[in-house]
Amino acid sequence: MNRAWTIGNRVHLLENGEEFFPRVLAAIEEARAEVLIETFILFEDKVGTRLHAALVAAAKRGVRVELTVDGYGSPDLSPAFVAALVDAGARLRVFDPKPRLLGMRTNVFRRLHRKIVVVDERFAFVGGINFSADHLADFGAGAKQDYSVEIEGPAVAEIRAFAIAALERPAAPDDWTQPAANLPSAGKARVRFVTRDNTRHLTDIERQYVAAIRAATDEVLIANAYFLPSYRLLHELHRAAGRGVRVGLILQGAPDMPRVANAARRLYPYLIAGGLRIHEYCERPLHGKLATVDDEWSTVGSSNLDPLSLSLNLEANVLIRDRDFNALVRDRLQRLIDHHCQEVRGDSLPPRTPWRTLSGLVVFHALRHLPAWAGLWPAHTPHVAVAQPGTPSSSGALPEPEPEPGDVDDRRR
């Protein structure tokens, strides 16, 4: 189950790999008991090899190391990379690995998209940053702009309980009801950990966005990489602007997936006519998924506002109620708007032609039904392959075991 708010936490916003990777690696290097990691992408680049070295060293000194990667996002881990981990005593799991077909990856949908790190029940990290070098500025023009949050305090026990349950049931870790450790207060932030899966928590993250927007009285500011939200979210944004709330969106202006950005732009006339302000981040690809509402509520996580994240992927966000943290998030986003974005104005939109009007209407109304359609296909049972000592296989070619007893049959969707 998704838990209630916990009080007494310290939260720290981490922007891009330059802030995120050093903090995670330092926590792992200091670990004495346990390191739990879920990530969509782990590459064998300079970031992945540094993480690999830290995990191998931790496992060799007796730390429990549990690493889960997604079979689509991390398809090419080499035999040597895998063997060094498992031979050191770490456990490597690959969520839903599938063989390639004509060189193409086939496990496109229902991805493990969560990005979670928990170390020794002292630190938890939740956000959108993968373990890959394209989250560092020196990667070049394709470097991603992204965020994570570091947490200390009672909320860490909640996130750890979820991560432990996910080791057995990664597609639907519902049984994370064991009593949380009574961790001491570390600050004044209230934190709520919210997840999305394909069984009991189909719309939990979306509902939190809707509730926050519905309650907004002053400002809603959302930065999201892939923006094709449900009709319900669009409706609430429109309603908020209609009652005088300042509603701002920071979206991709230098997209890494142009087709997705072009689809989102079909919504611009409707959004701008409704009073929303749209800012396109143009310096490099935006990969962040965060938002603030009024002076207190904010969220950071892995969930985009598109059909994949809202209807198919396994996602995790944290909600935070803390005025200082909220002000920091808002200041960071305002800095993007002031220095790295271009505002999209109504008079700058392409002229309305019959084709553009028709295609815009199709996109708009399809959003009302797309989540349900997306959830119907493909219907299969995701499983997890566990790398064994001495296995010569890469993550993309690990043996495909029978689904474990706890695995979830997505055909129930």
Angle at 123 between CA 118 and CA 125, to 5 degrees: 60
* 204 annotated active-site: no
Query: Which of these, 262, 239, 371, 397, lies nearest to 308 by C-alpha position?
Result: 371
Amino acid at 155: A
115 is catalytic: yes
Instruction: With CA atoms as reference, report the closest residue to 305 among 351, 263, 357.
Output: 263
CB 238 within 8 A of CB 274: yes
Query: What single-letter amino acid sits at 289?
Result: K
Q: How far apart are CA 144 and CA 146, in angstroms?
A: 6
What residues contact 50, with CB distance under 8 A and at least 6 apart?
21, 25
The helix-helix angle for 231-242 and 204-215 (nearest 10°) equals: 10
The answer to whether 209 and 184 have CB atoms below 8 angstroms apart is: no
DSSP string over 217-273: SSEEEEEESSB---HHHHHHHHHHHHTT-EEEEEEESS-SSHHHHHHHHTTHHHHHH
Residue of 52, 98, 115, 135 marked active site = 115
Q: Is 70 a catalytic residue?
A: no
Considering 113, 135, 201, 383, which one is annotated as catalytic?
113
Of the residues 98, 279, 289, 340, which is catalytic? 289
Catalytic residue among 294, 306, 407, 410: 294
The CA distance from 219 to 208, in Å, is 16
407 carries an active-site annotation: no
**287, 306, 340, 383: which is the annotated catalytic residue?**
287
Q: Catalytic site residue 113?
A: yes
Identify whether 279 is a catalytic site residue. no
Please tell me which residue in 96, 120, 146, 410 is annotated as part of the active site: 120
Mutual angle of helices 79-88 and 46-60, in 10-degree steps:
20
Q: H or E stretch including 87?
A: helix 79-88
Going by C-alpha positions, the residue among 390, 215, 196 that lies closest to residue 304 is 196
**Phi, psi dihedrals of residue 26, rounded to the nearest 5°:** -65, -40
Report the catalytic residues: 113, 115, 120, 287, 289, 294
